[in-house]
Structure 1
Amino acid sequence: MTNIVEAFTDPQLLGQSFGEDTREAWRAVLSGAFALPMDDDRLALFKRLSGDREPPQRQARELWAIAGRRSDKTHTAAGIAVYLATIGAELDGTLARLTAGERGVVQLLAVDRQQAKVALGYVRGLFADSPVMSSLVEKENTEGVLLRNGVSIEVATNSHRAVRGRTLLAAILDECAFFKDEATATPDVEVYRALVPSLATTGGMLIGISSPYARRGLLYSKWRKHYGKPGDVLVVQGGTLDFNPTLDPRVIAEAEQDDPEAAKAEWHGQFRADVEGFVTREVVEAATRPTPLELPYNKRVTYTAFVDPAGGGADEFTAAIGHREGERVVVDVLRARKGTPAEIVAEYADLLKSYRITRAISDRYAGSWPADEFSRHGITVEQAAKPKSDLYRDMLASMNSARVELPPDDRLMTQLISLERRTARGGRDSIDHAPGGHDDRANAVAGLVAANSRAPGERMRALCTW
């Protein structure tokens, strides 16, 4: 029976796409992961990529491949999915274990919808290019490919909900270091936890292929625990030129001049040392009240407000209302909405007035539009004197001193925990959301907390109330 490396080189199977000699690094990785024989040169390459460990004696239970950009990661992930759903499923006896009418699934999870479309395009192309593989296709749809052997390849975005209720023969996580989900700060871990039980019943393989990012998360934990160490979890790591020697080295050299730390991760396959978490889950949870989500107006309290107008797209237009209780800052209300900005301003203006607020402050990057629009409803809005990073720093000091009470808003918690501290080449830190993430709710709360943490006589003039 044909093994995966043979399938990747056979023109009748997957060799039309994967037959080039420049893919030797991927052949070495797959030979190690599937416990295939290797000649001396391939074994030496495998050891260099795997931290000088010996190849597994049996097919690896998990494979984690860390590679630089332009390493053909998504294409390779699609090729592995096609193999495992066809030849691999027959070779390891998986098909015989499926009950009558049961459909096995090889699941390929991507970062977002656009990347899922790219991955699905690769899967379809691999079947179309193979005279043998194409005859196995029963039907194609927007989510994947159904095969005549009772197996489906499903391509979806990363979600722990999407992986439940299926008989998984294998799972492949494409660019898992960049998984994101507004509902959780650890989407990669949540997906992994959901996959493991589904794969345990079939003995299916779990594969993660990704460029590295910060020194945290699922990919980093797998690397730290298993790289260079024996066992049935195989971790390999290499730069772009290891996996794609055809790339012009000048592209990498220019990237290194522009941003050495970013180039270290993007092109050399190394985890970034300049990106760290900003606040821990424990600190955020300790600051969060159990209930209620919103505190009602109290006439004995003086309230302040901070608004973060949406920047368009997936951003939320956010408003936060709070007050001081001694040394503590209480966030009474947090609202976040998408929609027509003018309508949201009218709604938030009524909300502010219900808490006797006629003056608020906004994100300094919002421009003059929010102030002009709020003024039509009798609310004066001025921009924050500090940039967002400084607001976050001020808030962190209060949170670490247990002087903040947050509402039990799940997205707020996710955004706060997902914030990143980045160190620029000049040594200056900045705090912001991760690539592809959002921090609208966190920003509104940070502005509110930072302003209210000041002594009463030092508060920003724009935060005065009736």
Structure 2
Amino acid sequence: MSDESRKELVRLILEDPTLPLRLHEEAPGLVSEAARDRSLLRRLSQDPVLFSRLILGLEPTGYQEELLRLRDKRILVRWPRQSGKTRTLAIIAIWFSAFHADATTLIVAPSRRQSMILSDLIHQHINRIPGKIQKALFAKRQRTTIYLRNGSRIVALPNSEHLLRGYHANLIIADEAAFFRNDEAIFRHVLTPMLATTDGTLIVSSTPWGKNTLYYQYSNDQDWTQLHITWRQARDAGVYKPRFIKQIEKTRKTNPLTYRMEYEAEFTEEADTWLTQDLLAKAVDQNLEYTPFEKKAEGIYYLGVDLGERVDHSVIAALQLKKRHLHLVHMHRFPLGTGLASVIGYVKILRDRWHRITAAYVDITKHGDYIIQDLHRAGVPEAHGITFTQNNKQEMAQILRRRLREATLHIPYDRHTLDELNVERYQLTKTGKIALDHPPGTHDDRFWATALAAYAAE
């Protein structure tokens, strides 16, 4: 292509906001040609929205454009579920690294698995870049670290002080920051000092969870640029499909607390919650990951088996004992309608693969002792039946909460588990007992499976 033709192409790209996306989809070769023009490169370096459309082929919404164009140094993002937050953060990481030489972008999350979610999305976006441009930008790509030819890199890490120390960062994206167990140490003593010498940018995003966190403090700090939207902006931007909107409306009616937190992006929690959000957030261990069902493992394990079938899910929780501390290392929820024989088989296989399961406490309230007999015949002599009564439910729930308060129960970052542990409500009866239940439309099967396992470990 001649210089004159290239300049004309660039002029059209800059004048017609719909052309960059069409070119990316229909003529990626022309995108590569246009990117050879220095004036376009300067414009791309100043405009991440144009970069998103032309180089990545992604059309941001209005509120996503606002985040992409921000140049403030401290930004807090509080958006509802499925509103494109992770996608937008991934675009920022790629654009920033492409146009800032010798810069380090850190992706920090409550666990390695969570940081990998954003890192994997970054890789997916890079794969959308036309081949010639992609080769010109990137030198080496690994799952946790991406190296660019301009000397920059993108690194994904859990919020571990040990792993984070030693880095100097120009951009830090802290995702699901409300779940950083050690948030004071991480933000004040590790992440913020990293940015002091580079005058770098810190973007903090999360589901609003708990009020005893730095994320909550930052959300009320006028020195931070606040980007808060609700599900309505995402709906109006066409991000949500009609079926998802119906799900939101159903959640609003059946579970107002979840609706306000997940879709209004509000900090909220009922006063009668048994395990508070702050208590659970402090128990999240950034180094803890679930042990897969297929993996052989050794240690001292305690199982909790909450049996359901048609209305409730059957759930198996496994706690591993290490130096008087319990670690939630396995959580499996069966689909509704799964037969009890499948649950028994699952427990049997776990017992055969893991050395050693010391006790397996099983809810027999609906099914009786024959379940325990079947487990014994299947080769699980450690199975012990528990009939749920108000007294022993209170005892199990108190053990679970005591363990969390004493910081002797550690859980991985798993939003499904955290949500169900947080769902249980309590009230005092006239006899001075504690009655526990969950709101209509919610499930507490993971709560009771974990409580059974903790009870077995006593």
TM-score, normalisation: structure 2: 0.57
Instruction: Tell me if structure 2 keeps the 8 A contact 1:169–1:202.
Output: yes
The residue number in structure 1 matching 2:227 is 236
SS in 1 for 2:170: strand
Residue 412 (1) aligns with residue 416 (2): no
TM-aligned CA distance change 1:168 to 1:11, over 3 Å: closer
The residue number in structure 2 matching 1:169 is 170
The residue number in structure 1 matching 2:126 is 127
Instruction: Tell me if structure 2 keeps the 8 A contact 1:5–1:30.
Output: no
Letter aligned with residue 65 of structure 1: V
The residue number in structure 1 matching 2:286 is none
Structure 1 residues 304-453: aligned runs within 5 Å:
308-309=303-304, 315-317=317-319, 341-342=350-351, 381-386=384-389, 390-395=394-399, 411-412=408-409, 420=422, 422-423=424-425, 429-430=437-438, 443-445=452-454
TM-aligned CA distance change 1:171 to 1:379, over 3 Å: closer
Residue 66 (1) aligns with residue 78 (2): yes
Deviations 1:170-196 (A, max 9, x none): 2112333456xxxxxx15555435322
Identity of aligned residues (%): 18
SS in 2 for 1:84: helix
Distance of 2:92 and 2:365 partners within structure 1: 45
Residue 25 (1) aligns with residue 27 (2): no
The residue number in structure 1 matching 2:258 is 262
TM-aligned CA distance change 1:307 to 1:113, over 3 Å: closer
Structure having the higher helix fraction is 2
Instruction: Tell me if structure 2 keeps the 8 A contact 1:110–1:173.
Output: yes
- The offset of 1:446, in angstroms, is 5.0
**Structure 2 unaligned spans of 5+:** 1-41, 283-300, 307-313, 331-346, 413-417, 427-434
Deviations 1:399-456 (A, max 9, x none): 6xxxxxx8999642679xx8636449xx96559xx9999897765555787xxxxxxx
The residue number in structure 1 matching 2:25 is none
The residue number in structure 1 matching 2:48 is 7
Distance of 2:326 and 2:156 partners within structure 1: 36
The residue number in structure 1 matching 2:88 is 76
Instruction: Tell me if structure 2 keeps the 8 A contact 1:308–1:319.
Output: no
SS in 1 for 2:77: strand
Instruction: Tell me if structure 1 keeps the 8 A contact 2:109–2:175.
Output: yes
Letter aligned with residue 316 of structure 1: A
Structure 1 residues 49-198: aligned runs within 5 Å:
59-60=72-73, 62-87=74-99, 89-90=100-101, 95=102, 104-110=103-109, 116-130=115-129, 134=134, 135-178=136-179, 186=181, 188-189=183-184, 191-193=186-188, 194-198=190-194
Letter aligned with residue 6 of structure 1: D
The residue number in structure 1 matching 2:18 is none
Letter aligned with residue 226 of structure 2: V
- The offset of 1:7, in angstroms, is 2.2
Residue 219 (1) aligns with residue 215 (2): yes
Letter aligned with residue 82 of structure 2: R
TM-aligned CA distance change 1:342 to 1:391, over 3 Å: same
The residue number in structure 1 matching 2:275 is 278
TM-aligned CA distance change 1:412 to 1:5, over 3 Å: same
The residue number in structure 2 matching 1:294 is none
TM-aligned CA distance change 1:6 to 1:160, over 3 Å: same
Deviations 1:299-358 (A, max 9, x none): xxxxxxx964468999425689xxxxxxxxxxx997998896446999566xx9xxxxxx
The residue number in structure 1 matching 2:31 is none
Instruction: Tell me if structure 2 keeps the 8 A contact 1:279–1:396.
Output: no
SS in 2 for 1:420: helix
Deviations 1:208-236 (A, max 9, x none): 2233234443422321x31xx2x2x2222
Deviations 1:282-305 (A, max 9, x none): 9xx9xxxxxxxxxxxxxxxxxxxx
The residue number in structure 2 matching 1:303 is none
TM-aligned CA distance change 1:174 to 1:443, over 3 Å: same
CA RMSD of aligned residues (A): 5.1
The residue number in structure 2 matching 1:54 is none
